[in-house]
Structure 1
């Protein structure tokens, strides 16, 4: 067991195998209800990864960076941040894609995106999520690439890009609260 837990990919693989075993034990057929559940599960998994990393950046990494000695900061910028941003940006695509597929499977996608009555709350959440995903790919990530030196930039451009990326991330952090409210409210009595 230690060999599995010492390696993130092995632990992830073991989690997938365990989930598959639970699936087999509770299997009721591959109908539309199953696919709706399965896509919802993928949506929740990718959302946890995306918003979890967003909150990590905003509640841990950004506030802690000024306290880190200058000689240690390159380790964050060269190793930790690029790896976290890899998972962050791909989860920022997977979450809205699975959410849109889910809304289509459940028959409320168009109604929600048009903010029509009965699906307005989830629609607001969907639009917030789409905006946040676009912010990741078109504002945060291009600026992080310059700030971290992944693409060439002088020191002034790096500093400016770091600030823009931080502000973009902080905007997503702020928007994540109403977005999550909308996602939960639609199914739990808080929708209008």
Structure 2
């Protein structure tokens, strides 16, 4: 297929994915807020655990929540599910369009592990299935009796997955894979647990049976997991645009820190909305986590690159030779790499002037991280990265 067509397919699917994710996250945050702000008071209908009054768009709304379910169902019942399904489906399609179709560029890094394209795709897709199965088994075990204990074990599982992915795929691919795993867990929670449990309750009501409250408790626990995982998964999906997040030595540790940061930020808002006070300490933890992430990123790529020494000079002709031989097949007026219709992000590195103009991005992508070339597909050497480090560090 023509590269231009693939480019627009990529853009269209990414647009759809972002729109559906906004809808899913927005409804999730709203209902978590609503659930936390409900107040129990006298005079509520039987079975109602609390209510809340809200104003929006010039109108007033009176919201009530039943502990299990109302005695009788209304004629029309709105289900919130398609946002999550569409987000996952568009995300998986994007994974196929970009990372599976371009596995040799974005998923595989021979310096991490040599594997054929088919094997990388199989491991990537299979890990989503296995990851969901392990998570689901944990949630169905006795660990589920304690939200905190289950959360700690789940956190350890995700960090372990990040470590494994970092030793299987490229840095970019590893971060995306962790995000895809979390997204799969979140969508499967809706598709395989939350909605089916709600349908069981509806079925019981229609049949005149008293619903089992256990179904609601289980669904609420999975919904709570989705709530706390939302911010980390957004970070992971954005990470592929920022090389020092994925292309550095401790990218899997960065994942662990970001999960904690996302959890404490959500805890702040959940506590505030529930009227339990504002735990401002969470922002101190998040800020410390942000500082730790920057420090971890400063360790540089997997293979350390020497910094420029005082008084060191570099022959620009040697720099130009490295950049043109390792980068210009994509970053040129007319890229020669199959499937790339235009220089990525409009960056050209096929002339001396363009190379000088993009010295700072070169340092970010190829010295402070090993993001470029993707998967080191062109085989840039450690000595060549040192040369770029000396040139970009000497003030040019």
TM-score (norm 1): 0.68
Larger strand proportion of the pair:
2
Residue ranges of structure 1 left out of the alignment (5+ in a row):
1-28
Q: CA deviation at 1:58?
A: 1.2
Aligned equivalents of 1:105, 1:44: Cα separation in 2? 15
Distance in 1, matches of 2:33 and 2:16, equals 25
Shift in alpha-carbon separation, 1:75–1:48, aligned structure 2, 3 A: same
Distance in 2 (CA, whole Å) between partners of 1:48 and 1:144 is 23
**Aligned residue runs from structure 1 range 1-192, under 5 A:** 31-60=5-34, 62-67=35-40, 70-71=44-45, 73=48, 82-83=77-78, 86=79, 88-108=80-100, 111=107, 113=124, 115=165, 116-118=169-171, 119-147=173-201, 150-152=202-204, 154-155=209-210, 157=212, 159-189=213-243, 190-191=245-246, 192=251
Displacement of 1:93: 1.4
CA displacement at 1:44 relative to structure 2? 0.5
| In 1, Cα distance between equivalents of 2:33 and 2:77 | 18
More helix as a share of residues: 1
Aligned length: 156
Give 1:23's aligned residue. none
- 1-side partners of 2:240 and 2:19: how far apart? 19
Change (3 A) 1:82 1:186: farther
Could you report, residue by residue, the CA deviation over 1:104-159 in whole angstroms, capped at 9, with x for unpaired residues? 21234763836312311111000100111111011111222344xx21154460x2
Tell me, in whole angstroms, the C-alpha distance in 2 between the residues paired with 1:132 and 1:40. 19
User: 1:53/1:183 Cα in 2 relative to 1: closer, same or farther (>3 Å)?
Assistant: same
Q: Which blocks of at least 5 consecutive residues in structure 2 are unaligned?
A: 49-62, 67-72, 108-120, 128-164, 252-396
- Cα gap change, 1:75/1:145 in structure 2, threshold over 3 Å: closer, same or farther? farther
SS in 1 for 2:175: helix
Contact kept, 8 Å, 2:176 with 2:237, in 1: the verdict is: yes
* RCO higher in structure (CA 8 A, sep ≥6): 1
1:74-124 CA-partner distances (Å, limit 9, x unpaired) = 966657x942xx3x3112111111111112212347638363123111110
Inter-partner Cα distance in structure 2 for 1:187 and 1:108: 18
The TM-score, its normalising length taken from structure 2, stands at 0.35
Could you tell me how far apart the structure 2 residues matched to 1:30 and 1:182 are?
27
